Structure 1
Amino acid sequence: MGVSLYYTARRATPLTDAELTAVGQVVDTYNANAPFSLEEEGLYLYDRLESGTVLDGSTKLPTADDRAVPSLVHWLAGITALRSAVPDAHWTFTLDDYEIDWDDHTGYHLPGLAD
């Protein structure tokens, strides 16, 4: 049984070419620099989007305890970078059913995780 991150950005206007390029760069960079090989799922963006959704994806976290925290820290930074690439959307971001709050100073994080 695994735990996954789910992220969605919604707005009325589609992504611009510049935003699509920035999103692609974030995905490529964070997947290439994952703390462990991508035996686990990296940043994965869905092809089929509901109306009003401009970005929708998920990332499955590793089940091994020694990999879970470093991976979670890495992917939280990756989703923060995605949100920065598409800042004027309404974002939802969850760790399974637990909503992760946005902080204007630190982005997405979980208290005490990076300690």
Structure 2
Amino acid sequence: MTNFKFLAGAGAIALMATACTQTGNVERNAAMGAAAGAVAGGVIGNNTGSGDAQTGAAIGAVVGGAGGAMVGREQDRAQREAPQRRDASGRPLYYEQSSGRYYYVDQQTGRTYYENGQLRSY
């Protein structure tokens, strides 16, 4: 039983580590849902019926992963359909999630600047 707990914990950490993507919310939410579902399913499976924590964890991971992916898909759809934000000059602004700030692209130089005019370094 100790090996199973270690493997389940290591698997959950590996899933969460791979969830750090810049492509969207689907992968991140699917991984977190799978990890939470595996833990909940393992606990429920251990405490009910035949006491089979492994089967409960597997079922919980599948259900949690699918649910997380569906939520992430809806979040991505909502972001795509949101109206484009523009600055006072009419330039489109893009949201940088890591800093929580908006930036724009100077069409002449290709450089990017935050709304306040500060050069954006990446």
Larger Rg: 2
TM-score under structure 1 normalisation? 0.28
Q: Which has the higher contact order (CA 8 A, sep 6+)?
A: 1
TM-score under structure 2 normalisation? 0.27
Which protein has the bigger helix share? Answer: 2
Which protein has the bigger strand share? Answer: 1
